[in-house]
A and B are shown apart, each in its own frame.
Chain A
Amino acid sequence: MAEILILAEHDGETVKKVTTELITLARRFGEPAVVWTGPGAEAGQARLAEFGAAKVYVAASPEYDEYVAAPKAELLAELAKQSSPAAILLPSTAEGREIGGRLAVKTGWGILTDVVGVGDDLSAEQANFGGAINVSSRVRAGTPIIAVRPNAVTPEPAPGAAVLEPVSLTVSDAAKQARITERVVQQRGERPELTEASIVVSGGRGVGSAENMALIESLADSLGAAVGASRAVTDAGWYPHQFQVGQTGKTVSPQLYVAVGISGAIQHRAGMQTSKTIMVVNKDPEAPIFELADFGVVGDLFKVVPQLVEEITKRTS
């Protein structure tokens, strides 16, 4: 059975959920072979085995984390040359897509991004124009490079050997042009990452101020959710820009999306309308966001949300 190369996302020890999703997906088409860059493969091995990785290529040089995208693209190109995989899967995150793009240029193989499903013939389902159109595409030149949106696949455990296979490649000088000199972490609390979270709670203009975003955070924390924001909120500086959900921000498709004080302009809908379940709290019954709601409350968010948090805490404690 041909290999499916999967680029692992990890933080040096913990495997990110999207990686377990990609392994789960890959098992349908071939033998999942994970590519681990930088240190920490030993720490991540058990998790990769749990989801069925047959093999883990380990390029342990810390240099893979010291430069933007290019070293990982170079590594994937080299591994693909050696193992002739049936497909290469990456997470459709900002860097995942960039690595895929560079790999596509290096190899001339086609790339599909923001994929939400893969068929048995390796055709890919995409939700285009902010989820307005479902498109089925396929790569017709070379080995398909497929960037899969986090949360598109439900990870399912299945034991694998996850044999560590050291790779003795060095990063070329050509791939060392954009050097990462500092990492500044501004994560708030211990919340899950926005694009990976199974539940996202977002606040919009109706929240009214930076201070009031604490209300959105308290609802998110009661659900173990990530916090998102509409563009009105990030433009006003009430919440950091990297939490923006929408056309010019992140695209999310969690199991549950809770939109609080968000009117639902197309700009926002484009980033969240493929969410599986959508709940809305808004005082304006005419707000277009209600068109997407599985459940909606027309009311003052400053009354509804505190009561909701209290009820959730009561039910879960």
Chain B
Amino acid sequence: MNIVVCVKQVPDTWSERTLRESDSTLDRDAADAVINELDEFAIEEGLRLAEAHGGEVTILSMGPERATEAIRKALSMGADKGVHLVDDALHGSDVLGTSAALATVLDQIGFDLVILGSESTDARTGVMAAMLSERLGVPQLSFASKVEIDGSSIRINRQADYGYDTVEGTLPAVLSVVEKINEPRYPSFKGIMAAKKKPVQTMSVADAGIDASSVGLENAASEVLSFAKRPPKQAGTIVPDDGDGGAKAAAFLADRKFI
């Protein structure tokens, strides 16, 4: 089975995240860069499926030079090879541009199963699996908390507010996973050493045959008009519990008309 896991490098949640003053795109220099946390679950699921059913795991990442770090990390977990889509022309792409670019590369490299994290921790749009499914014309099996593959059939538990839906489709397909699905492995020392020798192919917009008018900040279908830091919250009332903490909390709720 030919499995491609899409990976995004994002600013670390634990560092200060902001946008650039110049063009309102993500300020990648301001924060530490890490692999999108939910993508680690996607990599793990890809490795497990390849172990169970045979096949190869390719890591695909679109992003600046630095995104090779995210690809190497995925390779050190055990993936076989990487494809890095890197081009200044991609800077500032919105979800439409990003999905168009990724779909073009996926078409070119081929796949039986594309796996993604259910969303990225920076943009948090949660639309990429749906958009890739629409563009590639294959089933959308998203928000999976469990996956089963039997021959060319794929079945997932799709997590929902009320519990889950069982959803079935046929390979090739696009799968997105939630963190409940597995426990991502840590790269071993051996894995880290081996990753250095694994092939990573870099592709430009032209190499991949991506329509340049569909990507980049200039061609984005949406734009940021302005942004500002959220004003700090005014300090609230903090009381110690002297045996009447619950009563005081109730009084606060009554005062604010919640009860």
Contacts and interface: CB of A to CB of B under 8 A. Distances in A.
Nearest to B247: A311
B227 A294 contact: no
A136 B259 CA distance: 35
A226 to B, nearest CB: 10
A168 interface: no
Contacts of B16: 132
A100 B229 CA distance: 27
Q: Secondary structure of the B side of the interface? A: mixed
A199 B238 CA distance: 20
Given A70-B134, A297-B245, A298-B241, A308 B250 contact: yes
Contacts of B131: 101-102, 104-105
A270 to B, nearest CB: 7
Contacts of A277: 256, 258
A97 B126 contact: yes
Interface in A210-249: 223, 234, 241-242, 247-248
B254 to A, nearest CB: 6
Contact of B222 (A97, A130, A138, A290): A138
B241 A303 contact: yes
B162 interface: yes
Nearest to B121: A247
Interface in A259-292: 266-267, 270, 277-279, 281, 285, 290-292
Contact of B163 (A98, A185, A234): A185
A256 B166 CA distance: 33
Interface of A: 68-70, 73, 93-94, 97-102, 104-106, 108-114, 123, 127-142, 174, 177-187, 193-195, 199, 223, 234, 241-242, 247-248, 251, 255-256, 266-267, 270, 277-279, 281, 285, 290-300, 303-312, 315-316
Q: Which 7 A-B pairs rank lowest in CB-CB distance, beginning with the nearest?
A: A299-B241, A307-B246, A110-B221, A101-B127, A311-B250, A186-B163, A308-B246
Given A128-B19, A178-B140, A315-B250, 19 more contacts: A68-B140, A94-B159, A97-B130, A101-B99, A101-B127, A102-B134, A129-B17, A132-B229, A137-B225, A139-B221, A140-B220, A181-B167, A185-B162, A300-B241, A303-B245, A304-B245, A304-B249, A311-B251, A312-B259
